[in-house]
């Protein structure tokens, strides 16, 4: 497993947590608004005079927290649906898989905008709009793994011994897919970061007093027209770097948990 994505992710988390704590409470100073990087502030200031480095770190912390909650909830929902489909089988499996197809057919961003717009500024609505649209991929992976596990020897032995479906699911099937669910949650994380930032950028996400990376980018649209390019570049680079690092961490875990290719001896 490559270490650099995890080192980079740790650095991002430390930056998001430590910088606002070390900087202390921030007060709006309109006399220092839109100062370029280097003039009293390493990364410049925004249109309210806040230090952009501190503001970006605080926004990154909120975006990461919401994205992590969304990823965990999506993995839990997908795990439950996939486990139920593979365990019960028959018509129940067919109905659940058609439900998965139906959710996959919906445009996730549009559904997220509708849900978030109904309760604008509510973090619960942001979490629900992302978690309720990202679980189908987890459900499909879990179901496929479980269908392969049900033909294994220990599962067949438990069933022949008279074990119930609930016992088999809890004792054998659930541990068999826990690792895949963890991988799926980490893979979903960069998607959750992008969606949360997009919703806030479109104005249906968090309110400006709860700054996320998306809301900072939304506020920077007017500042860029005045030449303050750093108000868009700093949070934009933070968003891209975070998404890429999270995606690299997910790919690293996926490669580490993949089954090794069979060797052919000649």
pLDDT above 70 coverage of the chain, percent: 89
pLDDT number for residue 82:
85
Give the 3-state secondary structure percentages of the chain, helix then strand then coil, rounded to 5.
75, 0, 25
Q: 12 pLDDT band (50/70/90 cuts)?
A: very high
Q: 265 pLDDT band (50/70/90 cuts)?
A: very low
Distance CA 71, CA 83 (A): 18
pLDDT number for residue 160:
65
Residues 5, 10, 14: CA angle, nearest 5 degrees: 150
Provide the whole-model pTM.
Answer: 0.81
Whether residue 11 has pLDDT greater than 90: yes
């Amino acid at each position: 497993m490559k270490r650099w994505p995890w080192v980079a992710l740790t650095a991002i988390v430390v930056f998001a947590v430590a910088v606002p704590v070390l900087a202390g409470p921030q007060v709006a100073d309109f006399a220092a608004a839109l100062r370029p990087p280097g003039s009293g502030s390493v990364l410049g200031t925004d249109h309210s005079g806040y230090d952009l480095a501190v503001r970006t770190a605080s926004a990154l912390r909120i975006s990461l927290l919401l994205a992590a909650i969304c990823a965990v909830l999506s993995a839990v929902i997908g795990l439950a649906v996939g486990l139920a489909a593979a365990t019960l089988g028959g018509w129940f499996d067919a109905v659940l898989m058609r439900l998965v197809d139906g959710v996959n057919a919906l445009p996730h961003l549009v559904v997220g905008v509708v849900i978030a717009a109904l309760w604008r500024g509510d973090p619960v609505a942001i979490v629900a709009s992302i978690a309720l649209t990202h679980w189908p991929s987890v459900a499909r992976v879990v179901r496929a793994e479980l269908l392969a596990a049900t033909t294994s020897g220990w599962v067949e032995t438990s069933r022949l011994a008279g074990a119930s479906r609930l016992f088999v699911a809890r004792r054998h099937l659930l541990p068999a897919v826990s690792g895949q669910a963890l991988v799926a949650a980490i893979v979903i994380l960069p998607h959750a970061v992008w969606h949360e930032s997009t919703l806030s950028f479109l104005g249906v996400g968090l309110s400006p007093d709860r700054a996320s990376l998306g809301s900072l980018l939304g506020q920077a649209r007017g500042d860029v027209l005045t030449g303050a390019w750093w108000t868009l570049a700093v949070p934009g680079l933070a968003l891209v770097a975070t998404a890429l690092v999270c995606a690299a961490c997910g790919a690293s875990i996926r490669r580490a948990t993949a089954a090794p290719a069979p060797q052919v001896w000649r």
